[in-house]
Amino acid sequence: MSPSHIHVPHHCRTVTEILSRVGDKWSVQVVVQLGNGPKRFNELRRIVEGISQRMLTLTLRGLERDGLVTRTVYPTIPPRVDYALTGLGCSLLKTVRELGVWAIENRDEILEARRRFDGANLPEIGQDERRSDAA
């Protein structure tokens, strides 16, 4: 077994922590939108459907903290703030796009698997009642 296949608990914690940041639905959407070029806060808020102002603020702060996004303040009145992907953020965008392509390419197979699973796991009519009578 090569060293890359050895289970290292510290690595698992690291991967889990990082994936929780970059894998949440808002971070993915913000990264994808910033992949089209720098955006201002309100522009992001308009195009990331369903995100609240507070959640966008928290998401951008987290992405900035992790080095995926830069925040540039311009000394205008009112101040202008742009958000953009860093090099690290661009490398994440590449991975997110590849995952998106995989999801689209495999959608039908996944939906069919769900249909089979859900059909095979439907309780028989009256099965729940029999279980409660036996208890």
Given a cut of 70, whether residue 4 has pLDDT beyond it is no
- Mean pLDDT score of the chain, rounded to an integer? 87
Q: Between 11 and 15, where is the model more confident?
A: 15
* CATH code of the domain made up of 3-123: 1.10.10.10
pLDDT at 93: 95
Question: What pLDDT does residue 122 have?
Answer: 79
Question: Is the peptide bond between 79 and the residue preceding it cis, with omega within 30 degrees of 0?
Answer: no
Mean pLDDT of the 7-31 span: 84
pTM of the model: 0.75
Residue 21 clears pLDDT 90, i.e. is over it: no
pLDDT at position 54 over 80: yes
pLDDT in tens, 77-94: 988 999 999 999 999 999
